[in-house]
Amino acid sequence: MLNISDNSINHKIAYKESKVFSALRTKSSGRMPVVITLGVGILVVATLFLPWTQNVRVEGYLTTLKPNQRPQAIPSVISGKIEQWYVQEGSFVEAGDTIVFLSEVKSEYLDPDLIRRTSEQADAKNKSIGSYVDKRKSLERQYRALEEAREWKLKQVENKIEQTRLKIVNDSTDLKAEKINLNIAEKQLVRTQQLYDKGLKPLTDLEIKKMKRQEVSAKVNVLQNKIAIGMNELLQLNIEKSAVRNEYEDKLAKSESDQFTALSKQLDAVASTSKLQNQLSNYNQRQNMYYVRAPQSGYITKLVKKGIGEIVKEGADLVTVMPAEIDLAVEVYVKPQDLPLLQNDQTARLIFDGWPAVVFSGWPNTSFGTFPAEIYAIDRYISDNGKYRVLLQPTNEGKIWPDLLRVGSGAKAILLLNDVPLWYEIWRQLNGFPPDFYKPKEGKQKEVKTKAPLKSVK
């Protein structure tokens, strides 16, 4: 009701008995708003001095620390046709268990007696090696016999040459003596002729002297002829010696050539034997590859090839196996500008897909549903997505990671940095300054492990 008249009737109205007037009556606020405002202000100012943990929030997925613990595709080493499966998806297999049996499809391996026949060929070639070895030994003995025969033949010819030379020397000595006798006979004949002309010697003595000179002259001619014949024989013997040497050199060369031919065939047989033995070993190994076995214990997660009678190529994946025992880790990717803030053994908090969590970004200890982790390795090389890969592993302290986690599921990581007042963090965010560098505790600093970059998550 408006109070615009001097004649007030407010004192005549019973406000307390009327519900309308009671509802519309304005109460006096008093000092309460001031107290509330002041209390809220003090609370806000006090909150600004609360500790705040700077952090870097990234996303990634679950993986394993060791490469042999990650999902593994088992390929077919050979081309073949699927004949029988021994597992199904979800089956648990031990290392060495048979997964699938393949039959042969290549024409060069279809012979059922291939191994036996190849083995017979290798044995035959191996025996031929012994034959060539024996032949080489026979040729070596023949070569030594030819060398001995050549030496004996040359010595025989040299003996004849020496005999002929000595005969020539003897005949030359006799020739010198006969020439002296001839000279004496001629002088005697001249003196006898002179005496005969003077009548001091009879004709008979003159004729005897002439006869004597003729005899000596005939002996000289005979010896000269013998010497000439001896010289011719010596020449022939030298020619014969050269012929013998040439003849045996030819025989020895031929024998040596036969030895090298036998050696070449022996080495060829050795090479052929080794090749056949290599083929035999390959055939044996190939038959072992008809049964594809599990390389380690794990679970069959996917059958890539399924149909019986389906032909698979060499190197084609057949199944995927997830190892049974794994060391879980989280793989995340950080921006290059955040990489200098991270150090080995730096702590982090994780949120796994499927596990509810209530997160207070700056107060990780008060968050609910998060799990502790620490940095295990930081890549030195940037990934294809333009970020650096970081591996996180569980810590020995704090909440244990759930047992139902599976490799490949998503995860979010809060990489914890420095502890600062809340007002400082607000001021830093408003100014766009980077977080402070993390300073690890003394005694925990380790060398940063490096890993080869994996395929980035797009």
Of 136-150, 199-213, 366-380, 399-413, where does the model show the most confidence?
A: 136-150
Q: Show the CA angle centred on residue 278, arms to residues 274 and 282, nearest 5°.
A: 170
pLDDT band at 8 (very low <50, low <70, confident <90, very high): low
Residue with token string 């190994």: 285
Q: Regarding predicted confidence, which is higher, 439 or 175?
A: 175
pLDDT band at 199 (very low <50, low <70, confident <90, very high): confident
Per DSSP, 357 falls in state: -
Q: Which of 167, 168, 161, 170 is nearest to 235 (CA)?
A: 161
pLDDT of residue 331: 92
The whole-angstrom separation of Cα 445 and Cα 340 is: 15
Backbone angles phi, psi at 446, to 5 degrees: -125, 165
The whole-angstrom separation of Cα 81 and Cα 78 is: 10
pLDDT of residue 110: 84
Class of domain 114-288: mainly alpha
The mean predicted confidence, pLDDT, of the chain is: 79
**392-398-402-405 Cα dihedral, nearest 10 degrees:** 0
Q: Regarding predicted confidence, which is higher, 342 or 384?
A: 384
Q: Where in the chain is the domain with CATH 2.40.30.170?
A: 46-70+326-431
Q: Regarding predicted confidence, which is higher, 356 or 290?
A: 290
Least confident among 192-201, 283-292, 324-333, 402-411: 192-201
Non-local CB neighbours of 142 within 8 Å, separated by 6+ positions = 255
pLDDT of residue 444: 45
Tens of pLDDT along 356-369? 655 545 445 545 55
Q: Regarding predicted confidence, which is higher, 372 or 34?
A: 372
Least confident among 24-33, 66-75, 214-223: 24-33
pLDDT band at 288 (very low <50, low <70, confident <90, very high): confident
Type of residue at 49: F
The whole-angstrom separation of Cα 61 and Cα 346 is: 19
Three-state DSSP class for residue 447:
coil
Q: Where in the chain is the domain with CATH 1.10.287.2610?
A: 114-288
pLDDT of residue 395: 87
CA 199 vs. chain centroid, Å, equals: 125
pLDDT of residue 237: 85
Non-local CB neighbours of 125 within 8 Å, separated by 6+ positions = 269, 272, 273, 276
Non-local CB neighbours of 228 within 8 Å, separated by 6+ positions = none
Tens of pLDDT along 245-267? 898 889 889 988 888 888 888 88
Tens of pLDDT along 308-337? 888 889 888 899 998 888 888 999 998 887
Q: Evaluate if residue 183 carries a pLDDT over 50.
A: yes
Query: Contact, 320 vs 70, CB < 8 A?
Result: no
Q: Evaluate if residue 431 carries a pLDDT over 80.
A: no
Task: Residue 161: count other Cβ atoms within 10 Å of its Cβ.
Answer: 18
Determine the topology of domain 72-102+291-322 in CATH: OB fold (Dihydrolipoamide Acetyltransferase, E2P) (2.40.50)
Most distant pair of Cα atoms in the chain: their distance: 235
pLDDT of residue 58: 85
CATH for 46-70+326-431 is 2.40.30.170
Token couple for 377: 């390795």
Q: Regarding predicted confidence, which is higher, 17 or 257?
A: 257
Token couple for 218: 């005939």
Tens of pLDDT along 112-154? 888 888 888 888 888 888 888 888 889 889 999 988 988 898 8
Q: What is the mean pLDDT of residues 332-349?
A: 81
pLDDT band at 456 (very low <50, low <70, confident <90, very high): very low
- Region of residue 345 (phi > 0: left; psi between -120 and 50: alpha; otherwise: beta): left
Query: Contact, 22 vs 15, CB < 8 A?
Result: yes
Query: Contact, 297 vs 323, CB < 8 A?
Result: yes
pLDDT band at 406 (very low <50, low <70, confident <90, very high): confident
